[in-house]
A and B are shown apart, each in its own frame.
Chain A
Amino acid sequence: MSNGRNFVEAEILEQGVKRVLIKFPGGMRPPQQALVGPGSTTQDLLNHLGLSRDYALSAGTGDTTFGLSEIIYPLISDGDLLFATSRVDAGS
Chain B
Amino acid sequence: MIFSLLFIIFALGVVIYFVRLSPKSFETIIEESLRLASNRPKPFVKVLPTISSRISDKVVEADNTPVYLQRGWVRKDNGYHGYYRTQYGAWEGAIQRRGDAFYVFINDPPTEKLRHHSRWPCFRQETGKRWRIHLAVNPVDQDINSIILYVESVIRDSFRK
- For A47, the chain B residues whose CB sits under 8 A away are 45
Partner of A63, one of B44, B133, B146, B160: B160
- For A4, the chain B residues whose CB sits under 8 A away are 54
Query: Are B47 and A34 in contact, with the CB atoms below 8 A?
Result: yes
Q: How large is the interface on B (under 10, 10 to 19, 20 to 34, 35 or more residues)?
A: 35 or more
Query: Are A30 and B50 in contact, with the CB atoms below 8 A?
Result: yes
From A17, A36, A85, residue with most partner B Cβ within 10 Å = A85
Q: Write the chain A residue with the least CB distance to B134.
A: A92
Q: Binary interface profile of B, 82-119, with partner A (CB < 8 Å = 1, else 0)?
A: 00000000000000000000000000000000000001
Q: Write the chain A residue with the least CB distance to B52.
A: A30
Q: Binary interface profile of B, 35-58, with partner A (CB < 8 Å = 1, else 0)?
A: 000000101111110111010100
At the interface, yes or no: A10 with Cβ under 8 Å from chain B? no
Q: Write the chain A residue with the least CB distance to B150.
A: A88
Partner of A86, one of B44, B143, B156: B143
Q: Binary interface profile of A, 1-13, with partner B (CB < 8 Å = 1, else 0)?
A: 1001000100000
Query: Are A26 and B51 in contact, with the CB atoms below 8 A?
Result: no
A1–B136 alpha-carbon span in the complex (Å): 46
A44–B47 alpha-carbon span in the complex (Å): 11
Shortest beta-carbon distance, B78 to chain A, in Å?
A: 20
Q: Write the chain A residue with the least CB distance to B135.
A: A90
Known: A26-B67, A30-B52, A90-B119. 6 other contacts (CB 8 A): A17-B44, A25-B66, A26-B143, A49-B47, A90-B122, A90-B150
The 6 closest A-B pairs by CB, nearest first: A91-B136, A62-B153, A37-B44, A27-B66, A90-B122, A86-B139
